[in-house]
Amino acid sequence: MLKVLHTEWSKGWGGQEIRILLDAKGLIDRGHEVGILCSPESRLATEGQKNGIRTYFLDIRHSLDGNALWKIIKLFKEKDITVVNTHSSVDSWIASFAAKIANVPVLVRTRHLSVPIPKHFLNFVYRMPDAIVTTGESIRRMMIEENHLNGEKIFSIPTGVMLNRFRPEISGATIMQELQIEKGTKVVTMVAVLRSWKRHDVFLEAAMGVLSVMPSTVFWVVGDGPGFNNIQRKIEQLEIGKNVIMTGYREDIPEILAASDVCVLTSESAEGVPQAVLQYLAMKKPVVATNAGSISEVIKPEETGLLVEPNNAEAVAQGILRLLKDEKLSRILGENGRSVVEKYYDYENMLDRTIELYRSIYRRKIG
């Protein structure tokens, strides 16, 4: 049995934090002991407790917080932790040093974003872990080519999809009824945390283009985050409030997607392989996505979706219109997308690879 502790400094809630939660729940279900160390003010703390995960609270003020360092060392020793997996910059600094001092056998860093890592000597923190996990192959390549890190220690393990939850046969009827959408209305959906690099403004500008051709189309902005008010103002500015619904954060994403005709992601950067895109494909939905981060690893043009350049609202609009009008193409893309997710991005496969990585490092170091 592994004793794993995930550390996360961020108080936000998005794909990164959800990945930690999924990893923790999956390993617990397989008989391992897993905890999460995070800020008491974070959404991850709330969700961890709600899901019955051992959740430890600690506010880390900065990367050189000596008080936090000694508290973490004490926690690692008291709980006899065998694997520490860090996730954000600040907690990676503190927890990596704590793991070394406490003689934790396995130290892993997960790099979720495709944002370039600054090239300066202080980033030796990336050389401290026994392994680095990335959420996409493009992030792995960047760390090898740009930062000259050892490729043998970097592993791409994208977030997996729970295929028993994201089933294409699920009905979206209750969502249509709840949101008062008439049967037969075309629905275009974007599921994403409301952050600047997701470029919801591009999605909304694309909506304008679609509405000029298909004026009854409805657009759903699904998610919450720091950009909520800015997106609201953009909707008002474009005067498309009658056709755009901001749903806020939702747990019933499979049902939301079931009610959708086309799904979109307009990110300009910072992506690994996004969970939202994989969920779209698992539900056999036709996708328009931007070529950012590792998205092109799953969205193959004309095979599993339509890929457009970032920050091009007109291209996004044309892609949406094409899919809304071409049911045959949409069906083929959806079928192909589901097959790709089943083959390469199953949640259980993600857990298999994660556990094997932890164990292989442990065996090598402990014997």
pLDDT bracket for residue 59 (50, 70, 90) = confident
What is the predicted pLDDT for the residue at 332?
Answer: 98
Q: Where along the chain do its domains lie?
A: 3-160+346-366, 173-344
pLDDT at 335: 98
- Proportion of the chain above pLDDT 90, given as a percent: 85
What tens digit of pLDDT does each residue of 330-358 get?
999 999 999 999 999 999 999 999 999 99
> b/e string for 326-350 if b means 16 or more Cβ within 10 A?
eeeebeebbebbbebbeeebbbebb
**Which pLDDT score, from 0 to 100, does residue 48 have?**
96
Q: Look at residue 94 and tell me whether its pLDDT is greater than 70.
A: yes
Please name which of 265, 318, 320, 321 lies closest in space to residue 294, comparing C-alpha atoms. 265
Residue 63 has pLDDT above 90, yes or no: no
pLDDT averaged over every residue in the chain: 94
Prediction pTM value: 0.91
Please state which CATH number belongs to domain 173-344: 3.40.50.2000
Q: Mean pLDDT across the stretch 78-98?
A: 95
Confidence of residue 147 (pLDDT cuts 50, 70, 90): confident
Mean pLDDT of 239-244: 98
Percentage above 70 pLDDT, the chain = 99
The CA–CA distances, whole Å, from 100 to 66, 76, 128, 282 equal 15, 10, 9, 40
- CATH T-level topology, domain 3-160+346-366: Rossmann fold (3.40.50)
SS3 per residue for the chain: CCEEEEEECCCCCCHHHHHHHHHHHHHHHCCCEEEEEECCCCHHHHHHHHCCCEEEECCCCCCCCHHHHHHHHHHHHHCCCCEEEECCHHHHHHHHHHHHHCCCCEEEEEECCCCCCCCCHHHHHHHCCCEEEECCHHHHHHHHHCCCCCHHHEEECCCCECCCCCCCCCCCHHHHHHCCCCCCCCEEEEECCCCHHHCHHHHHHHHHHHHCCCCCCEEEEECCCCCHHHHHHHHHHHCCCCCEEEEECCCCHHHHHHCCCEEEECCCCCCCCCHHHHHHHHCCCCEEEECCCCHHHCCCECCCEEEECCCCHHHHHHHHHHHHHCHHHHHHHHHHHHHHHHHHCEHHHHHHHHHHHHHHHHHHHHC
pLDDT reading at 220 higher than 80: yes
pLDDT at 270 over 80: no
Q: Do domains 3-160+346-366 and 173-344 have the same CATH topology?
A: yes
φ/ψ of 234, rounded to 5, equals -65, -40
Summarize the confidence of residues 112-130 as an average pLDDT. 81
Give the per-residue pLDDT at 64: 80
